[in-house]
Amino acid sequence: MISKDKKYIVIEKQGDITKSYDDFVADLPENDCRYGLIDLEFETDDGRPTSKMVFISWNPDTASVRPKMLYSGSKEALKSTLTGVGIHINATDYSELDLEASVLPVVKKFA
C-alpha cells in the first residue's frame, strides 16, 4: 500500500505460505487499490507442476480517483524493482482476478 504521507510504497501484509490464491483475493479491499506479489503454483498444460511469481495491480473501478492516480503513477517504479517477475496483471474488478478464467491463461503463456 502507499504510505499515509503518499511518499512510499509499504508492505501492508505478508501472506502465509499455507494461504491460497482465493485467500489473497479475499484480502483485497473492495474500494481501495493495492499491489500484490504472489508465488502461484499450478500445473502446465502438459501436466508438469510449476510456479511463477505474479505481480498484481488491484485498481478497482469503485476506488476514488486520488488513490487510483497514486497507484497507477507508482506502478512502473515498483515493477522495475521486482527483478525476475515477468508476469503482471492489472485488475479493475474481481472478475479479472478469477483464477481459472483470467489469471491462469496469462500465467500459462510463460510456463
pLDDT in tens, the chain (111 residues): 888 888 888 999 998 889 999 999 999 999 999 999 999 999 999 999 999 999 999 999 999 999 999 999 999 999 999 998 999 999 999 999 999 999 999 999 998
Q: Answer whether 63's CB lies under 8 Å from 94's CB.
A: no
Q: Which three cell numbers stand for residue 50?
A: 510449476
Residue 75: count of CB within 10 angstroms of its CB: 18
- Nearest CA-CA partner of 87 in 41, 49, 56: 56
Strands 49-58 and 34-43: antiparallel
